[in-house]
Amino acid sequence: MGKNAIVGQSGGPTSVINASLAGVFESCKSRGADIVYGMCNGVAGLLEERVVDLSTLLTDDLDIELLKRTPSSFLGSCRYKLPDWHTDEALYKKLFAILEKLDIGCFFYIGGNDSMDTIGKLAEYGECIQSDIRFMGVPKTIDNDLMVTDHTPGYGSAAKYIGVVMKEVIRDATVYGTKYVTVVEIMGRNAGWLTAAAALAKSDDCEGVDMICLPEVPFHVEHFIEKVRVMQEKKPSIVIAVSEGVKLEDGRYVCELADDVHAVDAFGHKALTGTARYLANVVARNLDTKTRCIELSTLQRCAGHLTSRTDITEAYQVGGAAVKAAFEGVTGQMVALKRISNSPYQCTTELHPISEVANLEKKVPLSWMNEAHTQMTEDFLAYARPLIQAELTPLYIAGLPHHIYMKPQK
Closest Cα to residue 20, out of 35, 8, 2? Answer: 8
Residue 189 annotated as part of some ligand binding site: yes
Query: Strand order in 4-9's β-sheet?
Result: 51-53, 36-39, 4-9, 104-111, 134-139, 333-342, 345-353
For 331, list phi and psi in degrees, rounded to 5: -145, 160
Closest Cα to residue 410, out of 9, 37, 38, 52? Answer: 52
Amino acid at 208: G
CA distance 20 to 314: 8
Residue 376 annotated as part of some ligand binding site: no
Residue 244 annotated as part of some ligand binding site: yes
- Decide if 143 is catalytic: yes
Residue 12 annotated as part of some ligand binding site: yes
Residue 298 annotated as part of some ligand binding site: no
Q: How many CB atoms lie within 10 A of CB 353?
A: 14
Amino acid at 19: A
Q: Of 114, 143, 145, 210, which one is the catalytic site residue?
A: 143
Residue 188 annotated as part of some ligand binding site: yes
Residue 76 annotated as part of some ligand binding site: no
Say if residues 112 and 146 touch (Cβ distance below 8 Å). Answer: yes
Residues of the binding site for diphosphate: 12
Residues of the binding site for substrate: 141-143, 187-189, 244
Tell me the catalytic residues.
Answer: 143
Residues of the binding site: 12, 113, 141-143, 187-189, 244
